[in-house]
Amino acid sequence: MMPAQILGWFVRRWQVEVTFEETRAHLGMETQRQWSAPAISRTTPAILALYSVVTLLAKPLFEQGLVAIRTAAWYDKQVATFSDTIALVRRYLWYA
C-alpha cells in the first residue's frame, strides 16, 4: 500500500477509536460490570445508544453557541470533546 493510503485509513479509524475511548471514560463501557458475555450483550447497545442520544441532544445546543470548551493551562483545546458535550447536556437537563 502507498503511505498516503495507509495514513488515510488511520485517520478514518482514529474517529472510531476516540468514540470508544470516550464511551469507556464517560459511560462505563468495558468496565468490571461487563465481564460476562450476557452483560456485554445487554449493556453495550444501551451505552452506544446513550452516546448517540447525548450527541443528538447536544447538536442544537452547539448550534445555539451554548457550548463551553473546558481547557487547562497545559492543554488548549479548540474543538469540544465528548467530555465537554456530556457536560453541556447535563447542564441543559439540570436547568431545563
Look at residue 71 in the predicted model and tell me its pLDDT.
77
The overall pTM is greater than 0.75 = no
pLDDT band at 34 (very low <50, low <70, confident <90, very high): low
Look at residue 7 in the predicted model and tell me its pLDDT.
81
pLDDT (mean) for 71-87: 80
pLDDT band at 60 (very low <50, low <70, confident <90, very high): very high
Look at residue 31 in the predicted model and tell me its pLDDT.
66
Look at residue 32 in the predicted model and tell me its pLDDT.
60
pLDDT (mean) for 18-45: 74
Chain centroid offset of residue 9 CA: 20
Identity of the amino acid at 71 = T
Percent of the chain that is helix, strand, coil (3-state, to 5) = 70, 0, 25
Q: What is the mean pLDDT of the chain?
A: 80
